[in-house]
Structure formats: C-alpha cells, structure tokens
C-alpha cells in the first residue's frame, strides 16, 4: 500500500515543493486548504485519508487526530514550535514528532534587529507622519542603538544570532534563560526581573509552553524601564496583548513591536489605534531562502521516517 502524507495547511502559494519531494519517493500527498482548518475538520480528514504522516504548518494536530489513523508514524512541523501538536499523545502512541529547528535563524533575528532600528531611528513613526502630510523633524526623539541595553528573554539559536548582530552595534546585552549554565561571550545572564528593570529594549525569543504563557504580563511590563520597547518575534501567547495596550496607553511602553499575537489573525482595534504599535503579520520567519529550506527539509524528514530511517530532528522520545 502506498504511504499517504497529509499536508494540513501551508503559508505559501502552493504545495509544489512538498509534493515534489513526496511523490519522488513514490508516496501520495493529500493537501488541505492553505488556511488552517479547525481541529475537528483536521480530525475528519485524518479519518478519511488514514495518512502514514502528517505535515502541519499552523493547523492543530490534536490527540484525536493522532488517534484517527492507525498507520500514522510521524507528525512533522513545518516550523520550529510544537504548540499546535499534541506531542504527548503522539509520544504515547510511539509516533515521532519532528520540526525544522534552524531554518529561519537569520530571518527572525534580522526581524528583531529591524524592529529595534525602526524604533531607535523613528522609521515607522516618521514614515506614517510624512504620508499623512506632516514634516516635523523637530519632533524627533531618536536614540543611538549602541548606547542602549538590550535584554533577550530566552537564549536559543535565534537569540544567539540576535545577540551577535546587536553586539556589532555595541549594545550592552543581558539574557534570561533558565537553561543557561554560564554567561555566553559578550552577554550577561541575569534573572528576569533584573533584565526587565535594566533594559531599554526587551526581545522575546522564548518558546511557548505552559510555563511561558503570558510570561510578559502586566506585572512584568510594569518592571520595564519607562518608555522602553518590547519586541516579540516568538509566539503571541507569551505576551499579554491587553497588558501591552495598557502600557502603550500609559506611556510605560513607548512602543511594542509584535510579529505575533495571541489572537492572530485578529488584531484588536485598540492595538491598531496605538501610534507606538509596530505590527507585522507573523512573517519574521519568511524569506525566499528560508521557506524553500523549511518545506524541503520537513518533507524529506517525512520520507526518511516512512522509509524506516531515523529522523534528523526528533522532538520527542516515543517508547520503543
């Protein structure tokens, strides 16, 4: 019987890259719509097609979906985070879960740096002003990036790339990561409270887990320097959006640069009305090079596992 690979959804124009890899391996690809379906509809498609593998971008792969195909061997994330996959349910069934952990390191770190520069140089603010017919250079309240302290919440691959790039500007760098055992070169590891109170720019580079959900809440944002910048290029659920709106309204934050939102794709109207809100639609990971690498590597991982080989990027340890 030919193995079926179910592509739940995709954040690009078509499924051509995934299809080429899967069909070249004499396997069958079934694709859902580009826009992710809700969990119940994903579960129904799994029951219908009984795939040996699930490739997923944003769509939820629930415990029920994992139980719905007796042939399932692998759930492969087209991305890094696993918060849309019921990893425990897959592990209990002996199904491997994989991701592509390093495909967008440069892109996401570039996006964070871009937000920092947009704030220090007033790029977004003054672009809006000029388009609105206002030419007011005297209103400039700009800052030298190299004179600032930047705090990185989390210090994995992407945060390390961000630190390297910020270091080139001469910034003082702090980080908080409970898994760090020693200070990285050029970066001082501190507690979260110390990072917040001493940073002009706070950049969230942490994964979304039960322990990090709303890590940046009202209490934590209140500890930040008055008029500072909060950047989130990680997962929307780590930052309490209502707390950010309140902080922008009060001036506690002069700006918030958010590529991700807990409510995405819905953007709260109050956030849209804030002049200090810089918003992009969850695209920090994206470039021509990163997307091609992501799609090909995720599909190749599926083929590898279905052929009986070990995965290169396993994220769980199914029982033998």
Peptide bond into 265 cis (omega under 30): yes
- Segments of the chain scoring below 50 in pLDDT: none
Same fold, 4-103+288-306 and 105-279: yes
Alpha-carbon Rg for the chain, nearest whole angstrom, is 21
Three-class DSSP category at 147: helix
DSSP state at residue 309: P
How would you classify residue 39: left for phi > 0, otherwise alpha for psi between -120 and 50, otherwise beta? alpha
- Confidence (pLDDT) at 318: 64
Asked if 47 contacts 68 with a C-beta cutoff of 8 angstroms, the reply is yes
State the angle between helix axes of 157-169 and 105-120 in degrees (0 to 180), rounded to the nearest 10.
Answer: 40
- Confidence (pLDDT) at 317: 77
Class of domain 105-279: alpha beta
pLDDT above 70 covers a percentage of the chain that reads 99
Q: Where are the domains of the chain?
A: 4-103+288-306, 105-279
Alpha-carbon distance of 211 to 208, in angstroms, equals 8
Three-class DSSP category at 220: helix
Given the residues 77, 235, 295, 297, the one annotated as active site:
235
Instruction: Report the chain's mean pLDDT, rounded to a whole number.
Output: 96
Q: Is there a catalytic annotation at residue 264?
A: yes
Q: Is there a catalytic annotation at residue 282?
A: yes
Alpha-carbon distance of 309 to 69, in angstroms, equals 21
Alpha-carbon distance of 236 to 173, in angstroms, equals 23
Write out 249-279 in H/E/C secondary structure. Answer: HHCCEEEEEECCCCCCCCCCHHHHCCCCEEE
- Confidence (pLDDT) at 39: 98
Burial of 309 (0-12, 13-18, 19+ CB in 10 A): exposed
Given the residues 106, 129, 246, 264, the one annotated as active site:
264
Q: Is there a catalytic annotation at residue 43?
A: no
Interior angle at CA 235, CA 188 and CA 168, nearest 5 = 35
- Confidence (pLDDT) at 139: 87
- Confidence (pLDDT) at 320: 55
Interior angle at CA 8, CA 94 and CA 158, nearest 5 = 80
- Confidence (pLDDT) at 218: 98
Alpha-carbon distance of 117 to 184, in angstroms, equals 24
Alpha-carbon distance of 128 to 120, in angstroms, equals 15
Given the residues 93, 160, 223, 282, the one annotated as active site:
282
- Confidence (pLDDT) at 319: 63
CATH of 4-103+288-306, one of 3.40.50.720, 3.60.40.10, 3.50.50.60, 1.20.1530.20: 3.40.50.720
Tokens 């953007």 belong to 267
Tokens 């947009």 belong to 118
DSSP state at residue 149: E
Say what the pTM is: 0.91
Asked if 174 contacts 150 with a C-beta cutoff of 8 angstroms, the reply is yes
- Confidence (pLDDT) at 247: 98
């Amino acid at each position: 019987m030919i193995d079926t690979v179910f592509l739940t959804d995709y954040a690009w124009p078509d499924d051509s890259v995934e299809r080429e890899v899967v069909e070249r391996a004499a396997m069958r690809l079934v694709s859902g719509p580009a826009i992710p379906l809700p969990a119940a509809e994903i579960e129904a498609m799994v029951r219908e097609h009984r795939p040996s593998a699930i490739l997923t971008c944003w769509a939820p792969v629930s415990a029920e979906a994992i139980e719905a195909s007796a042939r399932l061997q692998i759930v492969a994330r087209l991305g890094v985070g696993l918060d849309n996959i019921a990893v425990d349910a897959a592990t209990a069934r002996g199904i491997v879960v994989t991701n592509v952990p390093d495909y967008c390191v440069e892109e996401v770190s570039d996006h964070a740096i871009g937000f920092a520069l947009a704030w220090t140089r007033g790029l977004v603010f003054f672009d809006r002003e000029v388009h609105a017919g206002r030419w007011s250079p005297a209103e400039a309240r700009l800052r030298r990036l190299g004179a600032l302290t930047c705090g990185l919440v989390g210090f994995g691959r992407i945060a390390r790339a961000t630190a390297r790039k910020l270091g080139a500007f001469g910034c003082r760098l702090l980080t908080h990561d409970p898994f760090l055992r020693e200070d990285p070169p050029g970066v001082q590891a501190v507690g979260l409270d110390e990072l917040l109170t001493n940073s002009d720019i706070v950049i969230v580079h942490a994964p979304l887990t039960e322990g990090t959900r709303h890590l940046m809440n009202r209490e934590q944002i209140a500890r930040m320097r008055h008029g500072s910048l909060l950047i989130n290029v990680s997962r929307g659920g780590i930052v309490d959006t209502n707390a950010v709106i309140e902080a922008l309204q009060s001036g506690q934050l002069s700006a918030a640069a958010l590529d991700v939102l807990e409510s995405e794709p819905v953007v709260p109207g109050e956030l849209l009305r804030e002049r200090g809100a810089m918003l992009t639609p969850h695209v920090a990971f994206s470039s021509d090079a990163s997307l091609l690498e992501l799609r090909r590597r995720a599909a190749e991982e599926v083929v590898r596992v279905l052929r009986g080989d070990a995965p290169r990027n396993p994220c769980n340890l199914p029982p033998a």
